[in-house]
Each structure stands twice: as C-alpha cells, then as structure tokens.
Structure 1
C-alpha cells in the first residue's frame, strides 16, 4: 500500500508542476476545486488498486487546454456526460473513512430507485472528491462519487468538461 501512496503523491506533484507552468504554453493555471481521486480495484500491479488523480481546468482553459510537458506523462481526460451519485463527508479523506463512506453510499443506492442504475460497466469503482487544501484542519468537505447510468429524459443533462 505504501508504494501506491507514493504513486499518488508523485502524480499529485506532477499535476502541481503542470499548474505552475510546466506546460507547452507556460500558463499558470488556477487550481480548481475539487481534486478527484478515482480508484480502480485490481487494475494495478499484482491486482492491487490503481489510482487516478484529476482536477478540473478552469473555464478559461476548457476550449483550448494547455498541453503538459511530455516528461510529466499527464493525459487530458475529456469527460463525456455522465451522472453520479454523491455522499458528502467531513474530516480528512483517509482509507478507513473512505471505505466506510463508500459502503454507506452503496447501501443507500441499493435501497433507492437508482439501485439498478449503478454503472456496473464503469471502469471506476468510486471516486473521492476533496474540496479543501491539505493545510485546512476544520470544516473539511469531501465526497464519495459513484457513476450511475440514466438517460437525459430521467434528469441526466450533458455538461462536457476537460480535466487533467
């Protein structure tokens, strides 16, 4: 698990370099809220979990996203329209409370009309959205996200965005 934590830290550092100007247009990019960490169980080495860290680009860069320097090995992730179920929680997002909150969201979904809509074909099991700086101690806001499949007719509107 420690090597996965190092990987996430390394990826976060590369994202930090990117927003500080390590991109082909040398643009400094305002860090948006939230930082999203998506977990894919069994996709890592020896069937461990793989993690993808993303942040949304500000509106200013949506039409023409800056390209990261090649050595950063970052890929843009243009999101297509999708719906998510969300559970909000406070404190620091740590493995113990993330798993607990993801379980509560799954239980809540299983008892709702959305139960059959959980995206079982999604490559991501769940994502964690963190809205605060790591230096903020009190009043922290986090969310667990799970993709659900619903049509536009059932309230899922299209809103394409680009993230790194």
Structure 2
C-alpha cells in the first residue's frame, strides 16, 4: 500500500511538472475532417506507441497497472537507459468480449515523442511492453470531463455510438479494429477540475464534412 501511494505521488509530481508547460507536451498529430456538437472525426497520422497489455476486470486497475510499467519505461527502464519525455494522452483500449464480463483485457498506450518515433528504446523484458505502430486512420472522438471510471466509460462510449448513428458516419465503425473503444486521459490523477478525457472509436475514413473546414493539430 505504501509503495502504491509513493508511486502515485511520483506520477502526480511528473504530471504537475509537465502541466505547467502543457503546450510543449507532444501528442499524436491529427486533422479534423468532420465536426458536430457532440463529437468529431479525426484523421490521425502514422504514429508509434509503447503498449502495456493488461488482463484485468477493472478499467481503472488496468490503467494503473499498465501506466505503472510505462512510467518505469520512460524513466529509463529500457535497454538504452533513455529518459523519455511525458506525452499525452495515456490511451487505454478495451478488447471486446475478452472475458466473462466482456471487458477483461486492455492495452494501455503511451505515445512516443517525435525523437523516438522511428527508433523507440527497447523496454526491459520484465515490463512486458511492446512497440505498436499505427497506420493513418480515422477516429470518432467524444470529449467528457471529470475522472474516467469503471462507472462511466461505457456510458460515454454509448453516447458516442448514439451520436454517430444520427450522423453521416452511421454504420462507419471499423470492423478491422481489435478494440471496442479506447479512453484517452490527458491529466494528472491529482488534477480535480478542468479535466479532459475522450472516447475514441475507429471508423472508416470515407466521409468528410467540407462545410466545417479542416483543422490540423
């Protein structure tokens, strides 16, 4: 219990340090191709991530376990002993129908900074981390505030599904995706107000909304 508390304090301090210069924190680059009041469609570019597979019933426990290992990795637990800058978001993907409660397997992901996109430092074997390369693809995104919890993530994902069903992107959910949906978290666990989370769902990239223009991030 004491080790867990100390680790949470350490993670919180790291997040607090980077939060003061949040504009400098690297994030995966994307282009907005469709925007509505309740969601938007983003076209994400090719990118490299480090992934922690987790077998766990609880989304919250899975995210803590996965990020604990990823945090060790960015602090130098890799074959190069390289320090890796903090990025955002931390992304937890839920594998559909992976267990008796249909959500007992997860992949917790850390976006690698530009410096390491081409050649990520190899993690120490005991961390059970794997590099993950993403090809360019479209993602439907719904934002929500507060904390991402076991009690609310499925509800937020359902709201996104309903919004998509009423839009030009109805029936566009990608059948190639291995994941039911993902939760992106952008803030330290010690930030209690102004929090940002997102639900991500992979979609086909055949629809665009020219009336809203295209914004690149």
TM range (shorter): 0.7 to 0.9
The reply on whether 1:58 has 2:98 as its aligned counterpart is no
The count of corresponding residues between Structure 1 and Structure 2 is 153
SS at match of 2:129: coil
More deviation, 95-104/23-32: 95-104
Counterpart mapping for 1:4-153 below 5 A? 5-44=60-99, 48-151=103-206
Unmatched tracts of structure 2, length 5 or more: 1-55, 209-217
**1:98-147 deviations in whole A, cap 9, x for unaligned?**
11111110000011111121113311010000000111111000000000
Q: TM-score, normalised by structure 1?
A: 0.85
Higher strand share: 2
Measure, in 2, the Cα distance between the counterparts of 1:113 and 1:3.
33
Aligned equivalents of 1:81, 1:141: Cα separation in 2: 24
Which ranges in structure 1 are unaligned for 5 or more consecutive residues? 156-164
Take 1:141 and 1:46, find their aligned partners in 2: how far apart are those partners?
Answer: 27
Q: TM-score, normalised by structure 2?
A: 0.65
